[in-house]
Structure 1
Amino acid sequence: MRVDDNARPTGQSEAVPDEGGQARKAASRGVVWRSPSALIGGVLVAFMVVLAIAGPLIWGEAAERIDAGAILQGTSAEHPLGTDNLGRDLLARVLVAGRYSLALALAATLIGAVLGTVLGALPSVLPRRGARLVTGLVNALVAFPGLLLAMFTAVIAGLGARGAVLGIGVAIAPGFARLTQTLAASVAGADYVAAARMLGVPRRRILARHILPNIAEPLILTLAQSLGGALLGLAGMSFLGLGVQPPDFDWGRLLFDGFARIYVHPEVALGPAALVALAGIGFNLLGDTLARAAARSSAGRQESARTEPPRAEGEPDPDAVLEVRDLTVSFPGDSTPVRGLSLTMAPGEIVGLVGESGSGKSLTAAAIGGLVPYPGTVTYGRLRLGGADIAGMSGKELGTALAMVFQDPMASLNPALRVGGQLSEVAVVHQGMSRADARRRAVDRLGHVHLPDPAKQAGQHPHELSGGMRQRAVIAMGLMGEPRLIIADEPTTALDVTVQRQILKLLREVVEETGAALLFISHDIAVVGELCDRVVVMYAGRVVEELPADRLAAGAAHPYTRALIASLPDLDTDRSRPLAGIPGTQPAPAQVGVGCAFAARCALATERCRTERPELVVHGPHRRVACWEVTS
């Protein structure tokens, strides 16, 4: 099979007309551009562009006209901002200087963007030793103060506009390099990049064809935002005497020339200072607006293409309890048990995560809770709990907001310690309670989960409790804080059906009382259908279907989901026939091919299924399926 290194990733779903979606997308973009910050930024930038074009044409002659009789004058009707030491009108010079100031800022930003992008992209294509060297250089440059870096470069390059532009460009480059490095790292692990490497595509072509085009948008948006910083930096360099030199002048040079008179005629600094500030504010506001508009547009494009609608980088879902985007868990040896999982949960919602053993359910829970064992690596586009990035949460915050209930309570409870003491430890460590208060809360929580005589049970060791009582104690441990999210990883597997029903009822009560979201992980699809509001089906590390729980039995679309349901016996099952099953086995995490992972076990599989991986696409309200053979 021949693979063209210029080819883009395949497996994208064809867009279908969606007039409502297009209208929502247009309305969403309109809201962004009608915001006060967008209007102010647009007006300021438009004014600066017009000034740069028209200023020298209109006021160029007045800016250069020398008047020996009007030297160093203050404000007057003829000269609103006064004159300089040659009698030239300062207002005209300020208006004319806009073109040179903006041109220098644009040049410095482009230099910084090019240097930073190349430097940041190199680690993704260099050998390990070279990548480590470049990464260390980027880290050192980021840690170095930008102004000192700019001044050092300007002194080396020589005083004047060229040195100042190079200095500001070099100071901007580390920020671009760090951003590029982060973005490139997320793309470098993609299958199409791995295929290009395997085929021997040169590194420079991998960089130019496969990596940079896929990270261009955020870099361009950062470029717009950096213009304002470059403008301020160049004005500062000229004000310090390291930038533009006479007879040339920019806004910073005009500030430098007027500084000696600022106590006598402060208006001489008013014009250039005001325009520097307005231009900086304008470019920053416009850059922020472009970023938000692009993010909204990206979300709209994903929705119109019927694919998973990830939110924009700058706009997390404010109402979500849990928001996961592109979660991947990998281990050495090219083993990736979880691949690009995305999931959003609302308050009070119970979501079931189902699949065979080895499908990645428990590792997904471990990744959310930060419990993936070494040497596992977790990467994601977004992982937020209660509106906060989990990576930035302290241990106390995470321990209070997240509760985890595992399959085996004996693995969660220390057999050498009493139950009440273990629950109390949660409140002492995460909430700073005294031991007496924590003990009282532990007893209260044990009673809350319907454990009989909770004060007595708090004094027992775990082995003195039955399996169902131990599981209730573990749930009570999670409720010691005020969890926003409860992750229950197969909490009823080892229990008999009577106790199982009690635990399921208890979990539903906890969700209704606390308003927390519950991620219920199980291989038992019947239990999930009874308890949950929504079901997410995983196979070989990926989500293959998502649908409402009440449509699970009759509305499942993916062949794997239907096979799971068919394997469940009921009262109408013909006992004279063998139990239904799914032929074959699930592929190991390191053996998942390029196509649909279920293709080898699927009776509907075609050649396309074996060579192209289907994306998770929308098939009606709250329904998504990853299957080429599902059309509606």
Structure 2
Amino acid sequence: MTKRRSSTFFRSPMAIASLTIVALFIVLAIVAPILWGEQASTPNPDALLQPPSPEHPLGTDSLGRDLLLRTLVATRTSLGMALIATLIGAVAGLAIGALPVVLGPRAQRWFASVINTWLAFPVLLVAMLTVILLGAGSTTAIIALALTMTPSFARLAQTLASRVGGSEYLAAARMLGISRSRQFTRYIMPNIAEPVIVNVTISIGGGLLALSSLSFLGVGIQPPEYDWGRMLSEGFEQVYSMPTAVVGPGVAVVVAGITFGMLGEALAGHMRNHGGGRVMSRRKLGAPPRVEGVAAVEAPTSASKPLLTVDGLSVAFPGEHGWIRPVQDVSFSIAPGEIVGVVGESGSGKSVTMMAVAQLAASGAGVTARTLNFDGQDLLELAPAELRKTLTTSIGVVFQDSLTALNPAKRVGSQLAEIPRVHANASGRSANEQAVAALADVSIPDPERRAKQFPHEFSGGMRQRTLIAMAQIGKPSLIIADEPTTALDVTVQQRVLALLRRECKQTGAAAIVVSHDIAVLAELCQRILVMYAGRIVEDVDVRLLADPEKLAHPYTRALAASLPDLETDLTKPLATIAGEPPDLSLPLVGCGFAARCAFATERCRSEAPPMLEHRHGGRIACWHPQDVAESGDTGGAPDRRESEGALV
């Protein structure tokens, strides 16, 4: 694929022309000072201010030196200074703009203020101030140009890195305990490299013009050194008597500036046209993966000590008009080896809750809890280093979007090998062998070859299986799967679900599976946590879903009723839940489902129901559980037979 993309770039007329001229400039920068350096610098009193001639095509200057040779020799100084200044500005800009992403929100805010302040100063003012403080000269000119370039590179790096900073694969890297330096060099830099390289290429041309301007004004390079700008300044005195004195350096500056600009535009155009392209491999594929049957998993006994205990978990984000609370007072527990589903409409707080448990809440989130106990350790009491070590080795996360959860700039095998390399101090060879074995365990065909490929070369199902392999390669006690079957077809869904269940059975790990599809959870899980408006409204055994009449909460009943099956009458509209979820930016009073519930009373609208044990063996937060309606204990709710139609 890389060769194919490169060949298309080299077929572009603009790329060919710009690369040819750049190569010519590079050759001149290397060869010209060696061949003509002494001749171009030695005064010749017998040839002062001569007009163009066969011996001197552009004439001579006031000291009798050949102007054409001086122009050619000055290529090294002019391009060298522009290149050095641009590289300094780029490196400094990347450090200021991209590095804070791995240092945390406070560092990001501080460096953002620095960048904004820096950009507010006029470029010319910064350059002149530098010259005043350090004195005129080539070194000062380079420093001045680098200082003017740094904030623009920093703003570009800040914008690009902020996207990477919010990605799931960087969140996974943090969770795995990968060092900040490695996050910067292996996760952020490769993913922002292409636009940065384009900007550097374009900036070399602009830097060349800027340095020539400084030398022309007399604050850049000083005699006896010279560059194209200095030659323009010296030749300007004879421009009316001998116009050719400025032709050589003038043309060189213009051609070099335009050429680097063309090269940058050619790179940018190539990226736009081919950045997301894929080329199918022509190698023979291995045997198709064997589909595992879905085996039953024994439910944990009630006497099992909880692996995870969450009590009073709340998550809030700052908004324009106050705090937005997508998760409010959530409490639940998970036993070892148990597979628990979390279901609810979009925006109910499912993913936010689980990411908060894994300490992967988004930047700016306020997370509080009365108890957050994992495997006998109180996570709220652990120091940051201990917390990171505990979570990175004991919790595996399968993110929702498999394409964004994998680092697009790293090969799949390298990403899996990070885990044994970081946490088990495995050698590079051993870590790679474990990565290949992990891919084989999740039925990835030809795992050795696939480990050397990039994520975009995998299908959606293969990427999802890769995430499962990544989550379990460290043998965690708990796997959190956030929408693991989103955007997958039914066949691939079956494979992923079977694989997740098989991995939990083989390793003894517990799993929390988040989904908006109650049918997926009914096939995989032992019990289900139903969330609505940021709260858990029912904790129910999955077997009750087969008989909705035994479900207690009206919202759970509505979800089960909205699930079509083979007996659904296709001549009638599908069942839906009327109304909209509440606005969580406003204070939530009473039961969140009251506005959409046909059984709601004034008490439901004014008082939030507590989460209590229920006779079906689970828990429920409802003032009027509907599985007791037949006995007459409706708590003042309207007759179910009259109101059932309004519910769904």
TM-score (normalizing by structure 1):
0.49
TM-score when normalising by structure 2 = 0.48
